Structure 1
């Protein structure tokens, strides 16, 4: 098992290294930060001096190697627009807001998705099943930015029940968490429904009913316990989707997280902050999937034998 875990860890590190190259190159496509920082009235000497100070006068390979060496030391550079603050400090200051929003959205989608999936499988082709499939269809089809604007208009502007933006009390979490979690809610509902339908038709469920066990125990203890395996398998992906999808949702609801920080940094062509944000998001994505792989190997002996 140790060998398998070590292999997965090496694969995760290689993926992170490759992503660092992609992130470094893509951040350069947003434009020239020197033109933004100096403006139109700067002389060529001013441009060259600033480029030299920022290290932008070197070749791209040299810039990347310097960037990688600094990252390995924990230095992601300094912001070009936020008064020279360390880029990593800016990201870490915004990270708790993003993690809390992702956590609330994930809990919401797990609870509602499991309940919807179980209810849909018990009453197959009934009203609840139709509603669950409709929610799954809408969740996978509707763009998150459009859904966020609609929810904001209905529940904040028209009804006045919830705030339109901000961060603090529980009411600020409702709209962005619902918007962020709808896509994952659709996936969990479909997974639980299909797994429950398969489990309810299996021999061990028939045997449990023959033994005279209560129907609630058959459904919630025996059938659901096995139906949650696919959900657990994709938990890392679900959480990563919450983090990566937060860029749009946080921008719509003015949520002070790393998603909004990434949006603001891209507009300002702040290379160090963009690189730090995307690297942190990528690291969270890879770490979440690595943890799920390790847990799956621990739980399922067949995975240990396969490697």
Structure 2
């Protein structure tokens, strides 16, 4: 078990380094940062001085090492448009909003997805099963921006039950969380349904029924416990989908998270902030998958026996 965990940590570190290299190279292809910072009225002396100050007169290898060293200390540069504030400071001020939205969305999709998946498996080929599969199909087909606009129009504009935007109260979470979580809800429903169907037909479930266990205990304690392993395996991916998908959802609902910050920074060509946001989101994705891999080793004895 220890060896597997160490291997996963090393793989995560390698992935982080590779992604930092990709982000660094892509940022160099977006244009000349000196021209962006100085504008058209700068003199040649100003350009040379800023080039030296930014370290752009160094080789690309030295520039990357400098970028990597600064990133490890939390220095991602300063925003071009937000009063020269540090990029990391801007991200940290927006991160709680994104994490809270992703947490709420993931919580309700887990509850509903597990419930729909179990009901669909228990009522195989019934109306409930068809309805659950239809929800899964719609959830994985409908674009987030379109769904968000429709939900806003129906529940906020027409019915006036919920606010169109805002942040801070529980009512503000409902529409963006529902929009953000529908895709994941569909995925969890399909995973739980297929795993439950496989579990209900297995030998250990037949043995549990022969022993006289109640149907509730058979379904919710034995069958569901084994059916959740695929869900746990994909939890890191689900969480990453919430964070990356928030770029669209936060823009539609004016949610003050890092997704909206990335959108605003792209429009303003604020490359230091865009670069920092992408690296932070990538780091969250990799860390979430690392934690899931470690959790999977803990809960699945077959993985622990592979040392």
TM bracket, shorter-chain basis:
over 0.9
Could you tell me which residue of structure 2 aligns to residue 260 of structure 1?
A: 260
Q: What is the rounded CA distance, in whole Å, between the counterparts of 1:32 and 1:255 in structure 2?
A: 31
SS at match of 1:164: coil
Could you tell me which residue of structure 2 aligns to residue 217 of structure 1?
A: 217
1:246-301 CA distance string (max 9 Å, x none) = 11111111111111111111222222211211111111111111111111112223
What is the Cα-based RMSD across aligned positions, in Å?
Answer: 1.8
Trace 1:183-222 onto structure 2 (pairs within 5 A): 183-222=183-222
Trace 1:75-90 onto structure 2 (pairs within 5 A): 75-90=75-90
Could you tell me which residue of structure 2 aligns to residue 233 of structure 1?
A: 233
* 1:165 and 2:165 are equivalent in the alignment: yes
Could you tell me which residue of structure 2 aligns to residue 280 of structure 1?
A: 280
Q: What is the rounded CA distance, in whole Å, between the counterparts of 1:285 and 1:184 in structure 2?
A: 15
Total equivalences in the alignment: 307
Q: What is the rounded CA distance, in whole Å, between the counterparts of 1:259 and 1:88 in structure 2?
A: 14
Runs of 5+ consecutive residues of structure 1 not aligned to the other structure: none
Contact 1:209–1:215 (8 Å) recurs in 2: yes
| Distance change in 2, residues 1:281/1:143 (3 Å) | same
1:88-147 CA distance string (max 9 Å, x none) = 111111110010000000001000000100111111111111111011111111111111
Q: TM-score, normalised by structure 1?
A: 0.94
Q: Which one is further off, 185-194 or 152-161?
A: 152-161
Q: What is the rounded CA distance, in whole Å, between the counterparts of 1:32 and 1:283 in structure 2?
A: 26
Contact 1:240–1:288 (8 Å) recurs in 2: yes
Could you tell me which residue of structure 2 aligns to residue 119 of structure 1?
A: 119
* 1:3 and 2:18 are equivalent in the alignment: no
Q: TM-score, normalised by structure 2?
A: 0.94
Q: What's the offset of the Cα at 1:76? A: 1.5
Contact 1:30–1:269 (8 Å) recurs in 2: no
Which portions of structure 1, spanning 4 or more consecutive aligned residues, are displaced by more than 6 angstroms? none
Runs of 5+ consecutive residues of structure 2 not aligned to the other structure: none
